[in-house]
Amino acid sequence: MTTRVLLVDDHRLMCEVLEFVVQSEPDLSVVGTACDAESALAAVEWALPDIVVMDIQLRGMDGIAATRALTSRHPEVRVVMLSASCTRTLVIDSFAAGAWGYLVKAGSPEELLSGIREVSQGRRSLAPSVQALLQA
């Protein structure tokens, strides 16, 4: 079974790199990209992703608010936050909004792929640096 992934990031280069990494995996398929929260919410309607990889820092509505809106409309879609920022508050707020995972942009491609797969299998996923932050 192929996991359908929607990528959301306001930096085009980042979106293209993420797409290259995810699309190279035989069990994952990128079904769309979006550069802001509003486009992401619309894309969920037509792309029907299993997983949304959501940047926190977006123009307009931020990724946490977008996650809250997305999960209230589509509780079957699982969100993995992907951010350059990692604070205890951002992690807690992300999970409170309905996120299943929190990964960092400084992580490796393998961490991203592993995180997507864990969440697609119904498990929470945290980057190692996020786990360390929460345990401190």
For 62-110, what is each residue's pLDDT tens digit?
A: 999 999 999 999 999 999 999 998 889 999 999 999 999 999 999 999 9
Q: Global pTM? A: 0.95
CB 116 within 8 A of CB 5: yes
Question: What CATH number was assigned to the domain covering residues 3-135?
Answer: 3.40.50.2300
% helix, strand, coil for the chain, step of 5: 45, 25, 30
H-helix or E-strand containing 32?
strand 28-34
Estimate to the nearest angstrom the gap between the alpha carbon of 53 and the chain centroid: 2
Contacts of 117 (CB under 8 A, 6+ apart): 3, 27, 28
Q: How much is the mean pLDDT over the chain? A: 94
